[in-house]
Structure 1
Amino acid sequence: MEEQELGLRFQRHFLAARQLRGMPWAELEQRLRAAPERSQSSLLTAILHQTVLHPLCVRYPPPASYRRLFLAELIQKHESTAADPLDELYDALARVLNEEESAYCYKNYLLPSGEPVTLSESVAIISQGTTGLITWDAALHLAEWAAENPVVFRNRTVLELGSGVGFTGLAICKTCNPKTYIFSDYHHCVLKQLRENIYLNGFTLEPETVSAAQAECQGQEAEGKKYQQPQLIVAELDWGSATEKQLLGLQADIVIAADVVYDPEVTLSLIGMLQKFSTLRADRKPEVYIALTVRNPDTYHLFQAELDKAGIRWQILPAHSNRILLHDTQPNVTILQLFM
């Protein structure tokens, strides 16, 4: 049972292409030293099949460079034992060595249920002039919190600001049963990748893409209907030009955002957007949750000060206990609940 748990930790970490140094290598070394020779080979083979040879990896692989480094480390652990050579390990490395690098890769994030959220992401942190083509830790943090608090989202209309490639929304759609989920972003490359990832996870869009203005009629059509899966909408939403009328048309019960507080200029634009929600009539003001990584304390304090200046009350939500997605790190991430 302990060996199975170790393999699952490697699996969750590897399929999502998390940092290699965060994997349980030391624990693996301890197990190998304590195990008889046959068990050493069996353990390493099991980890290989839970990672590089896992069906998700075969179909939706992480970067080739990442798989090469992982296999090299696994082979090094194997060669430190007295076990006979494992041909499968060297065969797997040979196949990856022949692969060309790509600007995009897949990452498979396993939810607490074991169901994956599979995303096509950029290999580079900044690509095509945007940071929105990769998944950031605050998105994982918000998804974990949502999985522990599904009642917040169940049978409600959720608007996500700055959806990026879609991880948080897809995780919520698979775990929390919202009625409608509106992904929104502004960069055209991000919107294209977002739509592809929605389809990749078995969802459909009705219609394929809508503007913020068009979403009002879409929301009205959804009233009174029951959907076996949430109705998913992609909205091109510019925080600077969106109007109160457009936001009212989205009919959002919940507004969320992850990792959108990282730059003073972006922060001020977000505050302006939130102020538009605060002008809606009382029965249409949404609940708002913002997950952010505190990289620069000054930027974080600016966000809090601007919220106060705008008359938007806020509170820090208690830390959640679920560490399925972020088991390899303790990021300085917090979630604020805002009161319009």
Structure 2
Amino acid sequence: MDQHSPSPLNEQQRALVLHVKRQILQMRQLRQFEWSPPSRPNSESAPEMQPEGESKVPLTVTMPEIQQAMLDQIFYDPVVLKHPPSSIYQHAFLKKVIYMIEEEGLYDISEDLMELFTELLMTVPKRPEEGGPPLMPCFKSYSLDRNCQKVVTVMEEQTTISSGTTGLRTWEASFWLAEYLIAHPEFVQSKNVVDIGCGVGFLGIACAMLGAKKVALTDGNMDVLTMAQKNIGYNKAPCPVSATALDWENFTNEQIASLEAEVLILSDLTYDPTNIVPLVTVLKAILVRGVSAFMSSAIRNPQTFIDFFAHIRKECVGVQIDEVILDGLDHLFFFDEETVQTVKVFHLHFP
């Protein structure tokens, strides 16, 4: 066993810790976890080389310095302690790391890491399938960069449907649109952004972090709006962010005018055929000349998608719909590879 004390991290080790941190904050499923940083095709950095005469040591989370760095920079990070991932997830992650250390047999398990694992072991509830209580809402944090300098933290459900709505969790299409806007922040910078069907608010708060002038999160479900309002408070947005009720079938011209919309963002709103007419009704009122809309959607039912575009072209005469090319985006978020859908992003505007 290696008994030496952890040493300062080099560039590659820091990159590994940050890669692990982003996955933990997002609570990526452990069966899909990436335990080493993936190679980036556009990266100019050369692979780390050991000094002459020394053997190359594989970069792994089991190394003593990585174990300590994960504790210091992830589990004991004041921001993470304030808005932690679920204790069930933290326990499962540490259990996996301990198993990896024991299986590899090269290093000791950090005493601090074992102490934290033991604390969680004594306090963490059982999972529902093991007879424990239902999963409760928990914090998930999504980094808008690879260094975790801009992070959006939201409380969200861990189940697909809660309180009769799918709006209490962040969906994959939001990540694709967020990645596009991260690559092109000029579309929201210094603009009044209105999030239509905001859900828990991840996408709108991300726009605030990207330089929007003002952001309005809107939804017609009061449980969703309550969650979105709380999530505004968990983030230190650099611009005003509000949560506002907007009923797609019962709104006033005064409500629309008060939004002062310059850019609309919409994510995963076309999955339900019954949403199409109300959604287009509210878009017709807001999407006027001078206002742009960026829309992302997972293509689950192609016919619903076709019907939506047919209806919006009919009601918003002259609107231009451009599909956005997503190739080459820097993927900052982690998707469920087993349930991933085809996602498309569109820019709707009047020429």
- TM-score higher than 0.5 here? yes
CA distance in 1 between partners of 2:37 and 2:228 (Å): 37
The amino acid across from 2:81 in the alignment is V
The structure-2 alpha-carbon separation of the partners of 1:181 and 1:84, relative to structure 1 and needing over 3 Å to count, comes to closer
1:21-70: CA deviation from partner (whole Å, max 9, x where unpaired): 23213779xxxx94599983333333344433433332211122211221
From 83, 89, 106, the equivalent of 2:139 is 106
C-alpha displacement of 1:173: 0.7
RMSD value, Cα: 2.9
The amino acid across from 2:271 in the alignment is Y
Q: In the alignment, which residue of structure 2 is the partner of 1:222?
A: none
Contact kept in structure 1, 2:296 and 2:344, CA below 8 Å: yes
- TM superposition score normalised by structure 2: 0.78
Q: In the alignment, which residue of structure 2 is the partner of 1:181?
A: 215
Greater helix share, 1 or 2? 1
Q: In the alignment, which residue of structure 1 is the partner of 2:118?
A: 94
From 241, 248, 266, the equivalent of 1:239 is 248
Q: 2:159 aligns to what SS in structure 1?
A: coil
The structure-2 alpha-carbon separation of the partners of 1:47 and 1:247, relative to structure 1 and needing over 3 Å to count, comes to same
Q: In the alignment, which residue of structure 2 is the partner of 1:211?
A: none
- TM superposition score normalised by structure 1: 0.80
C-alpha displacement of 1:76: 1.2
CA distance in 2 between partners of 1:272 and 1:199 (Å): 31
CA distance in 2 between partners of 1:58 and 1:49 (Å): 11
The structure-2 alpha-carbon separation of the partners of 1:175 and 1:78, relative to structure 1 and needing over 3 Å to count, comes to same
From 76, 89, 107, the equivalent of 1:66 is 89
Matches within 5 A, 1:7-18: 7-18=17-28
From 17, 23, 43, the equivalent of 2:66 is 43
- Alignment of 1:117 with 2:122, yes or no, is no
Q: Which stretch of the first structure deviates more once superposed, 115-124 or 190-199?
A: 115-124
Q: 1:131 aligns to what SS in structure 2?
A: coil
1:88-139: CA deviation from partner (whole Å, max 9, x where unpaired): 3322222222134761211121221622211111232211121111111222
Identity %: 27
The amino acid across from 1:302 in the alignment is D
The structure-2 alpha-carbon separation of the partners of 1:267 and 1:48, relative to structure 1 and needing over 3 Å to count, comes to farther
CA distance in 2 between partners of 1:124 and 1:37 (Å): 32
Q: Which stretch of the first structure deviates more once superposed, 149-158 or 45-54?
A: 45-54
CA distance in 1 between partners of 2:260 and 2:81 (Å): 41
1:185-227: CA deviation from partner (whole Å, max 9, x where unpaired): 1111111111111112135xxxxxxxxxxxxxxxxxxxxxxxx
Q: Which stretch of the first structure deviates more once superposed, 302-311 or 317-326?
A: 302-311
Equivalent pairs, count: 307
Q: In the alignment, which residue of structure 2 is the partner of 1:313?
A: 320
Q: 1:25 aligns to what SS in structure 2?
A: coil
The amino acid across from 2:25 in the alignment is L
CA distance in 2 between partners of 1:133 and 1:246 (Å): 24
The structure-2 alpha-carbon separation of the partners of 1:7 and 1:269, relative to structure 1 and needing over 3 Å to count, comes to same
Contact kept in structure 1, 2:294 and 2:346, CA below 8 Å: yes
| Unpaired stretches in structure 2, ≥5 consecutive residues | 1-10, 39-55, 126-132
